[in-house]
């Protein structure tokens, strides 16, 4: 029997694949647990439509991320921090402070988890902070750290 998988099944296949399985395995395991449906012409057509829709949505999200990345590349935020002699900061600037500054100054809601900061900023100056907007799109936000 051929089955269209609705979820990933270990040692069998990924979601959306059409696989050939024994009748008993399909009737007793895959179909009752809603892991797949029988590969009828209607179900195969539905699968094609779902894949086309998913590709369309993914393309829209990618275009949106690229547009947002272009805007972010032109922007900069200023974060103030207490500092001692030689521009050495007391504490550090983390992604949380950068996200808050972006929201306050630019009215831009950026998730702090999407910022790729290898280590917190511990000095005064200008820094480029990469922001992972999409798996293929990374924007760079200019962050200026000044003494409070």
Cα dist from 124 to 1, 81, 100, whole Å: 66, 8, 18
For the segment 86-127, what is each residue's pLDDT rounded down to a tens digit?
Answer: 767 788 888 999 999 999 998 888 899 999 988 888 888 899
Go through the domains of the chain in sequence order and give each one's CATH number: 2-62 (3.40.5.10), 66-147 (3.10.430.100)
Dig out the tokens for 125 from the structure. Answer: 């100056």
Dig out the tokens for 48 from the structure. Answer: 């094609």
Spatial separation of the C-alpha atoms in residues 112 and 94, rounded to whole Å: 9
The region of weakest confidence among 5-19, 22-36, 82-96, 126-140 is 82-96
For the segment 41-88, what is each residue's pLDDT rounded down to a tens digit?
Answer: 999 999 899 999 999 999 999 999 999 999 999 999 999 888 877 767
Specify the pTM: 0.69
Output the pLDDT for position 27.
94
Query: Quick one: pLDDT band at residue 148, thresholds 50, 70, 90?
Result: confident
Output the pLDDT for position 87.
65
Spatial separation of the C-alpha atoms in residues 115 and 121, rounded to whole Å: 13
Q: Are 5 and 12 in contact (CB under 8 A)?
A: yes
Output the pLDDT for position 119.
86
Output the pLDDT for position 49.
93
Q: Which residues, at least 6 apart from 61, have a Cβ–Cβ distance to it below 8 Å?
A: 134
Output the pLDDT for position 56.
96
Dig out the tokens for 32 from the structure. Answer: 């009752």
Cα dist from 93 to 5, 12, 18, 34, 136, whole Å: 47, 48, 50, 48, 27
Closest CA to 133 of 101, 102, 104: 102
Cα dist from 108 to 10, 91, 94, whole Å: 41, 25, 17
Query: Quick one: pLDDT band at residue 1, thresholds 50, 70, 90?
Result: very high
């Amino acid at each position: 029997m051929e089955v269209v998988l609705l979820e990933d099944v270990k040692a069998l296949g990924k979601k959306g694949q059409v696989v050939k399985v024994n009748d008993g395995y399909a009737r007793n395991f895959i179909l009752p647990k809603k892991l797949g449906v029988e590969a009828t012409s209607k179900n195969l057509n539905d699968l094609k439509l779902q894949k086309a829709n998913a590709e369309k949505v993914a393309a829209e999200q990618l275009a949106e991320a690229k547009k947002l990345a272009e805007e972010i590349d032109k922007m900069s935020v200023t974060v103030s921090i207490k500092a001692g002699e030689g521009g050495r900061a007391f504490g550090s600037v983390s992604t949380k402070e950068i996200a808050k500054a972006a929201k306050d100054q630019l009215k831009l809601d950026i998730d702090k988890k999407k910022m790729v900061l290898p280590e917190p900023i511990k000095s005064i100056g200008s820094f480029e902070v990469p922001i992972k907007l999409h798996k293929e799109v990374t924007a760079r936000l200019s962050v200026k750290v000044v003494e409070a």
